[in-house]
Amino acid sequence: SGASNLHGAGASNLQDNNMDAIFAIMTEEKGNQKETLKIITSKLKKYFPKNTTPKQMEDTIIKLLERELQRKRGRESR
């Protein structure tokens, strides 16, 4: 009887640990669940040289947005 109580308590702790692990896995953000923004490259082509790759377009757009944000912050701090 004492042994079965120990077994029961151990099983309960194991079950709690398993539930914690399952919860952690279920709540973590997966790569395919991240929000994305898609822009059709044909809409962007007129702004870039002919052989620009989509990755290069993305990098350039991010740099320009960062530059604009810094410019706005500089104006606001005056």
The confidence score (pLDDT) of residue 5 equals 47
Q: What is the pLDDT of residue 1?
A: 44
- Contact of 41 with 54, CB cutoff 8 Å: yes
Predicted pLDDT of residue 78: 67
Cα separation, 14 vs 47, in Å, equals: 59
Question: Are 44 and 57 within 8 A, CB to CB?
Answer: yes
Global confidence as pTM:
0.54
**So what's the pLDDT on residue 57?**
95
pLDDT score at 24: 86
How does pLDDT run along the chain (78 residues), one tens digit per residue? 444 444 556 667 777 888 888 888 888 877 777 788 889 989 999 999 999 999 999 999 999 999 999 999 988 876
